[in-house]
Amino acid sequence: MKIQIKNLGQIESAVLNDNNLVVMVGDNGTGKTLLLESMALISNRVNSAIRRIYSDIVNDFNESFKLDDWKNVEKSIREKMEQGQNNKSELTEVRPSFNLDVFVSDEKNINETIKGKIGSELLLVKEELSKRILFSHEEETNLSVDLIDIPEIKSGKLNIELNFDFYDDDLILIINKSLNMNGHLEYIDIKNYIDKERIQEIENYSNKSLYKKFLNFESFFASIKEKITLLFLNEIMGAYFQDNALLFLPSERNLYMQNAMAKVIDFEEFSTGLRYSEELFIKSYLDFTTLIKSFINNENFKKRNRPLIDGDTSDLFDGELTFNKDGEVESIEKNGVKIQRLLFSTKINRLIPYLIIGQPIRSYSKIIIEEPEAHLSLKSMSALIKYFAKLLNDDKKLVITTHSDVFFTRLNNLFLTMPDLPVTVYELENDGEKSKLNEVNRTENGYEIKLFTEELSELFDETINIQDGD
């Protein structure tokens, strides 16, 4: 997603492009947090709306999408259901795949409709930015938000895989993009296409032939075509509108509020004065502690002897963490010595939020980290950079802000050692009144940040003059 924002608080203009690693550098007070929060809010709201927009397009322009080789898809499904009448394995094991040509007519109206619906969503986003990010009760007439380079729908190919399976003894059809997978599946519960009076007759697998006997094939196949069309829309636009599970780790001023805020926050109302980044973090942290609590109190999980936190994240702490019955970190054991949480070092406290990334159930594919270098020594920064490299190798997307020249230099070294890593670096520059976000061009030595170059050059000259007695 490529976001253009104008007149957001002190920020005059900014264009933010999604990438595997995005680094934003800027001095204090230039608006880095405003941009991060705005990016998170826009991404969350638009990505949650795009599925509904896809469905509207399929419903409104159903006749504009034609699937080549559809007869073979239909024939394959009928044959599979015939073969699987009395043999469950034949129904579930073989997964036919198809390379479909999807022909789209009325492309102009479809694309104009999509842009219009996205534009309507952005008007709502603009209102929310004013209230949630700027805490303004007045309409910010100069604030503008837009999405750039939205892909257009046009005829193309789609590779799909069909799979029958059983869930709680109900037969379902799973349609999956078999080649260019990005986690999107479509499910069809077949009993929804059987007369309700007949459903009771299907009680066990021995009479699953009744699925075929009483199935309304017309509506069943119409639904399959709709699901395939949804997958086609996602094939074209999915890389732009990514349904990322987003985790926001704010700066240290917000990270240790969870216990107090958990008692008062009302997630349905936003009158508590929380910053958007604080709210996102607290929700994620409460989900994390609830999950850990459920594992600690689950006998089956204990018997499996599985770790609560993955090894890469645990290694950041140089010791073994223990959790209390409420899912909170209780202590850490280092070299046979147990240290209670009240005695944790600043580093350990600073790293605790990263445990959310390492928990075993919920996977966050995009992580926004504000000033990760805060309160860390040079050695700890180096360990954190290595951890980021592992996250990137695991296909996590990272957005990082910093105003530390040392931390950025370590990041720059990471860029040089991972030359194929897609990276975008921005510098947020302020002229005294307004800030502008500028993309930094990459050189053979990585990226040069104007703020650091100017400040370090001035520091060098000042040091030389002091040492020379001038």
Rg of the chain taking only CA atoms, in angstroms = 27
378-405 pLDDT tens trace: 988 998 999 999 999 988 899 999 999 9
Q: Determine the pLDDT at residue 263.
A: 43
Block residue for tokens 């002897």: 305
Q: How far apart are CA 16 and CA 450, in angstroms?
A: 19
140 exposure class (CB count in 10 Å sphere: 0-12, 13-18, 19+):
middle
Q: Determine the pLDDT at residue 132.
A: 87
Backbone angles phi, psi at 176, to 5 degrees: -130, 145
What residue spans of 276-317 are helical by DSSP H?
A: 276-296, 299-304, 311-315
Looking at residue 78, its amino acid is: R
Looking at residue 212, its amino acid is: K
Q: Which residues contact 460 (CB under 8 A, 6 or more apart)?
A: none
Nearest to 161 by CA among 81, 240, 67, 231: 231
Q: Determine the pLDDT at residue 181.
A: 42
> Cα dihedral sign for 25, 27, 28, 31?
negative
368 and 36 Cβ atoms separated by less than 8 Å = yes
Domains in the chain, CATH or no CATH each = 1-30+368-470 (3.40.50), 65-105+152-237 (no CATH), 275-364 (no CATH)
Predicted TM-score (pTM) of this structure: 0.83
Q: Determine the pLDDT at residue 375.
A: 85
Q: CA 198, 201, 206: angle at the middle one, nearest 5?
A: 135
427 and 3 Cβ atoms separated by less than 8 Å = no
Number of H-type helices and E-type strands within the chain: 16, 17
248 and 220 Cβ atoms separated by less than 8 Å = no
Q: How far apart are CA 277 and CA 251, in angstroms?
A: 9
116-147 pLDDT tens trace: 999 999 999 998 898 888 888 776 678 899 99
Nearest to 134 by CA among 247, 258, 18, 9: 9
Residues of the chain where predicted confidence (pLDDT) is lower than 70? 83-94, 139-140, 166-171, 177-184, 191, 194-215, 243-244, 252-273, 299-307, 470
Q: How far is CA 191 from CA 94, 170, 273, 340, in A?
A: 21, 7, 47, 55
Q: How far apart are CA 42 and CA 327, in angstroms?
A: 31
Q: How far is CA 21 from CA 124, 394, 414, 426, in A?
A: 28, 12, 11, 11
Q: Determine the pLDDT at residue 119.
A: 92
Q: Determine the pLDDT at residue 196.
A: 57
Q: Determine the pLDDT at residue 94.
A: 65
